[in-house]
Amino acid sequence: MPFLRRRAAATLLLASLAVALLGGCRGGTRTDAASATPTTNASPATSAVATATPTSVATPPARSTPEAARAMAHLRRLAGEIGPRAATTDGERRAAEYIRGELERAGYRVSIEPFEVDVATGGTATLRPDGAPELRAAPMGSAPDATASGPVAAVGGLGSAQDFAAVSVRGAVAVVDRGTIPFAEKARNAQQAGAVALVVVNNQAGLFRGDLGSAGVTIPVIGVAQEDGAALRALAGVRATVTSSTQRLRGTSQNVVGRPSGGECTAYLGGHYDSVAAGPGANDNASGTSLLLELARARRNDGVCVIAFGGEEEGLLGSRAYARTVDITGARFMLNFDMVAKHTRPSVIGDQALAERASRLAQARGLAVSRLASIGPGAASDHATFQQAGVPVLMFYAGDDQFIHTAQDDVANTSEADLAKFLDLAVALLDELTGR
């Protein structure tokens, strides 16, 4: 069930509404600053920016003792009761309402900020040479759904305009290597040279998932594994049929933004609250959201804003949407919490100075923390958006988990003791960064 806010007496409600209208959440310099105070049944999917004022009569203390049990209660609510929270779904919206309510209880001014989602999420592709076995293939995101046939033309190189000028591909299925040149540029060059389809051979083992963005390409574009590249080039001149069909996710997601006061956001605490559709996302990332909520309750600092991001699993959509409307450059720091309740290799990732401070604080608490350069090849989390804007960032990460993105990532896949260790470290680091 969606979180329902309790109403105060009529006079107090009027006072709260006045405060909300005078000091709505801005989080920086907004380019779409439209704020409205929602009714209790307002839908985040239909309001531009829904702003709310804490409903409690007495403002909670800015500092209190952090409690891992409270964080685990949030985790059970998000992953155990609400369950899967895939972007644009009702589960994600219910989670956003719950997070809004908890931040309001903690004394924050809270807004639910919707953003539109339109991303490629998968699809199918085939590559069938005449008289030869079908080769494995993957569709290129944002490529058109189309089928084309023609002789295989092996283009030497990475698909530059010069590469296509050196060989005739008119009416052919062009084959180029992956690397250096953006997929969209390869595809445009192939199309301009008269190719009816483009096949990109991976530069490492296995298939890959690429995206053309808004390239304006009308021919099918697919990728094949490196190990199939030689076999495909050996078929030069043989007629082949390429089919590509992509799937897209369209709808509305939302960020939940909590501000402790009416001033600008000078620093950020964040974590994504969405999951994949396949499971309840307890460790990934009800755990990070739950730590975020308890940290926000125990430490409410002026200027330190709290954001629960939607749509992270589809490509950091929430943090990117926020950065499009708010000037985040110049923020003092951004702490991100993603997969923090199952320690396999407790780690911090990001700014070297922040990582050194966190490592020192962890060591003093008997916690061995690794300092990693990244989560892994092709992986990222919402801190990356802030890092690209020049903000010092640090991500708290408990290590690899074989059950993430599966139905087995449930409450039983998490540990309150592990969550408590990262909560304690996060509080200590935040206190040091804010001079408390």
Pick from 191, 213, 248: which residue ends a domain?
A: 248
Residue 295 to residue 369: CA distance in whole angstroms: 20
* Assigned token pair, 211: 């995206």
Report if residue 317 sits inside a domain: yes
State how far the Cα of 410 lies from the Cα of 280, in Å rounded to an integer. Answer: 6
The full DSSP string for 296-362 is HHHB--TTEEEEEES-GGGTSHHHHHHHHHS--TT-S-EEEE-S-SS-SS-EEEE-HHHHHHHHHHH
SS3 content of the chain, % helix, strand, coil (to 5): 30, 25, 45
CATH number at residue 300: 3.40.630.10
Domain shared by 87 and 54, yes or no: yes
- Which residue range is the domain that position 317 belongs to? 10-108+260-433
CB burial of residue 251 (10 Å; 0-12, 13-18, 19+): middle
What is residue 3's predicted lDDT score, i.e. its pLDDT? 28
In this prediction, residue 210 carries a pLDDT of 84
Bond preceding residue 285 cis, omega within 30 of 0: yes
Instruction: Tell me the CA end-to-end span of the chain in Å, nearest whole number.
Output: 38
pLDDT at 377: 65
205 and 267 both lie in a single domain: no
Based on the domain organization, do 175 and 86 belong to the same domain? no
Domain contains 237: yes
Confidence (pLDDT) at 213: 74
Give residue 199's identity as a one-letter amino acid code.
V
pLDDT (tens digit, 9 = 90+) per residue, 208-256? 878 887 668 999 999 999 999 989 999 999 999 999 998 889 999 999 9
Tokens representing 62 are 């800015």
pLDDT truncated to tens, each residue of the chain (436 aa)?
A: 322 332 333 333 333 333 333 333 333 333 333 333 333 333 333 333 454 444 444 778 889 999 999 999 999 999 999 999 999 999 999 999 999 999 999 999 999 999 999 987 878 999 999 999 999 999 988 888 999 999 999 998 999 999 999 999 999 999 999 998 999 999 999 999 999 999 999 998 888 878 887 668 999 999 999 999 989 999 999 999 999 998 889 999 999 999 998 789 999 999 999 999 999 999 999 999 999 999 999 999 999 999 999 999 999 999 999 999 999 999 999 999 999 999 999 999 999 999 999 999 999 999 999 999 888 766 789 999 999 999 999 999 999 999 999 999 999 999 999 999 999 999 999 999 999 7
CA pair distance 331, 15, nearest whole angstrom: 31
Q: What is the CATH number of the domain that holds 164?
A: 3.50.30.30
User: Half-sphere exposure of 221 toward its Cβ, with a 13 Å CA cutoff?
Assistant: 31
Residue 147 and residue 89 in one domain: no
pLDDT in tens, 5-21: 323 333 333 333 333 33
Residue 5 in domain: no
310 and 180, same domain (yes or no)? no
Q: For residue 48, is it within any domain?
A: yes
Q: What's the rounded Cα separation, in Å, for the pair 159 and 198?
A: 10
Rg (CA), the chain: 25
How distant, in Å, are the alpha carbons of 4, 31, 34 from that of 325?
28, 5, 11
Q: Are residues 302 and 340 in the same domain?
A: yes
Same domain, 28 and 70: yes
Question: Are residues 97 and 207 located together in one domain of the fold?
Answer: no
Residue that terminates a domain, selected from 217, 248, 279: 248
- Structurally, the chain folds into a number of domains equal to 2
Note whether residue 185 is domain-resident: yes
Of 194, 225, 248, the last residue of a domain is 248
> Is 67 in the same domain as 175?
no
408/272 same-domain check: yes
Say if 59 falls within a structural domain. yes
In a domain, 161, yes or no: yes
Same domain, 53 and 145: no
Closest CA to 331 of 258, 390, 398, 395: 390
Q: And the tokens for 52?
A: 């709310």
Instruction: Determine contact, residues 52/25, Cβ cutoff 8 Å.
Output: no
Q: Do 168 and 192 share a domain, yes or no?
A: yes
Task: Answer yes or no: is 168 within a domain.
Answer: yes
User: Quick one: which H or E segment has residue 396?
Assistant: strand 393-397
